Amino acid sequence: MSASVNVFESTSVGAALAEPPPHPWDDAAQGWNHHTTAIRTWLHDATAAMLDAAQLTPGARVLDIAAGAGDQTLDIAQRIGPGGAVLATDISPRILALAQARLRAAGITCAATRAADAQALDLAGANFDAAVCRLGLMFCTSPLQALQGIHAALRPGGRFSALVFSQPQANPCLVILARTAQRHAGLPDRNPYEPGSLMSLGQSGVMPRLLHQTGFTDIAVQPMAAPFVLPSVQHYIDFVRSSASPVMQMLKALPAAAQAAAWDEMRAQLQVFSTPQGWAGPNELLICSATAGINEPPSPT
């Protein structure tokens, strides 16, 4: 095995982040952090399955892409132990600062952070044992480019696993949110599989094809139900209003009254998922996993 590029020297959790330019996801940073408990409950089983698929072992070096506020980074750190190392990256410097604070508060000493676009990781030769990406890859306008960077950051035989949203039919809440926001913002209906959108990688066969084109082997893509269970539909609206950057950005330029009307319509439509026990919004994710090939990745076909 070739020597690993050291990506941890200047990015420890105790170190100050560099100041990259602001990003639209910065607007959702505090909301995502505030709702960490609800998000952790929602994605608990799916996150565990993603980390199982990454085959993490004590002492492993792990890359956490689009780490957000660091929830799953904590789980990674627990699995690899103090002898391992995890590098958490995210495009939003503000949300990554919150991840830093969470990791410090938990006393995690094996983690580091780095602000980075998933499509420009610049980590070739780092020889990570594993890489994971929880609900981030679908926001890449060029997911193939992102996967190529991830493949380059892994050692030969290293594992990659990711969670992405599946098809629109299995994610009606996302469809309601997107279509309602688009209509109120005066935007045309978009193809749900448009690059960079919430369900852009949910179409059957897309993820296996991209992973194969990148040079991954042992490819597996499996659907998994992940309902978002909350006390009421209002709790879900509160989560979306502060945490869902794509919807927030669509409505951001509207006057306050117009924004309120959009949220009211979303709430009314989403009420259909209310039950006597609370609100349960259907979601389906894809658990995608693969092994980094030994040879150079094949050219895209």
Residue closest to 125 by CA, chosen among 216, 6, 217, 291: 6
What is the end-to-end Cα distance of the chain in Å, rounded? Answer: 29
Exposure letters 226-252 (e unless 16+ CB within 10 A, then b):
bebbbeebebbbbbbbbbbbbbbebbe
**Does residue 178 contact residue 199 with C-beta atoms inside 8 Å?**
no
CA–CA distance, 186 with 250 (Å, rounded to integer): 9
pLDDT (mean) for 86-104: 90
- Report whether pLDDT(82) > 70: yes
The 3-state DSSP class for residue 289 equals strand
Taking only the tens place, the pLDDT of each residue in 176-213 is: 999 999 999 999 988 999 999 999 999 999 999 999 99
Predicted model pTM:
0.88
At 206 the pLDDT is 98
- Report whether pLDDT(174) > 70: yes
Reduce the secondary structure of 231-253 to three states and give it as a string: CCHHHHHHHHHHHCHHHHHHHCC
Taking only the tens place, the pLDDT of each residue in 257-278 is: 999 999 999 999 999 999 999 9
- Report whether pLDDT(232) > 90: yes
**Does residue 234 contact residue 242 with C-beta atoms inside 8 Å?**
no
At the topology level, CATH places domain 24-292 in: Rossmann fold (3.40.50)
Query: For residue 25, what is the DSSP state?
Result: G
Query: For residue 223, what is the DSSP state?
Result: E
Taking only the tens place, the pLDDT of each residue in 7-66 is: 665 455 544 444 455 555 555 556 666 778 888 999 999 999 999 999 999 999 999 999
- Report whether pLDDT(300) > 60: no
At 26 the pLDDT is 56
Extents of the domains making up the chain: 24-292
**Structure tokens, 175:** 């469809």
At 246 the pLDDT is 80
